[in-house]
Amino acid sequence: MATSGGAAAVSKPALFARLVKIEHSVYALPFAYAGAFLAAAGLPSWSDLLWITVAMVGARSAAMALNRLIDAELDARNPRTATRELPAGRLGRREVWVFTVVALALLVLAAFNLSPPCRYLWPIPLAAFVLYPFAKRFTWFCHYALGLTLGLAPAAAWVAVTGRLAPQAWLLFFAVGLWVGGFDIIYAVFDLDFDRAHGLHSVPVAVGERGALLVAAASHVATVLLLAAVGLLSGLDWIYWLGLAAVAVLLAWPHADIARRGLRRVGMSFMTVNGAVGLLYGAVVIAAVLVG
């Protein structure tokens, strides 16, 4: 396939980084660290932190690559996604499959270097990675399927450190599920016409744009409540509560901005704010656990 000079100049590593949207690691990785620090009630071992990071890199890379492989045909039809690496022909299916296998190998390697249960539990996220891309073909719950897949990050980190799940791990699992599901519902509004035309399911298709924005807002209110429950069960002090208040403000800001200016004028800037939520919450938990 012929490429322009600019396209040809893009390296393979850069194309794969775009494929998996490496910048979106800020959504799940900070919550994984939050789960690890809360589970350890302090600083986890450096070995655990290293292997949790390797597991997260492998898991997220595999998940995104599988999503792109499964959705390649739909992406090619959608003007918003037609320029992605696979439909645009900048990466081939075979090399993306090889990338996926390598990423899964990293996940399995990390699992065998963490607590014993991890050696047997890694197929759970793999199943989620495979099933999530198909969800929008069957149910409006697809946004929360994505969210709960990312919610595995703090829960898995908790198991990685302690070998078991505590109530706080479940709360983090559902909190991340609602948080990611909420902003994915907003994101799906941009594809409302395409999804209707192609028989795909989403909350915007089910209840319309206005209803979808209300569902997203309710999801984020529930997120804050669940994170508050995490703080109460963990006995965290004022650092956590001050930080959680800031997280709540960050979550509320895109909703207020959309209500004031309209989603089309806000555009994709709400995604940047949501990325800051993950970074802030991870930092708050680490500070609260280490300083409190």
User: What CATH number does residue 100 fall under?
Assistant: 1.10.357.140
Asked if 20 and 65 count as a contact pair (C-beta separation under 8 A), the reply is: yes
- Per the domain annotation, does 178 fall within a domain? yes
Domain count of the fold of the chain: 1
Record the tokens describing residue 89, joined without a space. 């022909």
- Per the domain annotation, does 19 fall within a domain? no
- Per the domain annotation, does 112 fall within a domain? yes
What is the pLDDT of the chain when averaged over all its residues?
Answer: 91
Q: How far apart are the first and last CA of the chain?
A: 58
In tens, the pLDDT along 105-137 reads 999 999 999 999 999 999 999 999 999 999 999
Q: Is the pLDDT of residue 2 over 50?
A: no
What are all long-range contacts of 84-87, with beta carbons under 8 Å and residues at least 24 apart?
Answer: 84/19, 85/15, 85/18, 85/19, 86/19
- Per the domain annotation, does 1 fall within a domain? no
**Phi/psi at 238 (nearest 5 deg)?**
-60, -30
Q: Is the pLDDT of residue 4 over 60?
A: no
- Per the domain annotation, does 71 fall within a domain? yes
Sorting pLDDT into bands at 50, 70 and 90, what band is 5? very low
- Per the domain annotation, does 274 fall within a domain? yes
Whole-number percent of the chain with pLDDT over 70: 95
Which stretch of 83-87, 198-202, 261-265, 270-274 has the lowest confidence by average pLDDT? Answer: 270-274
- Containing structural domain, residue 245: 24-291
Q: What's the pTM?
A: 0.90
- Per the domain annotation, does 11 fall within a domain? no
Q: Is the pLDDT of residue 174 over 80?
A: yes
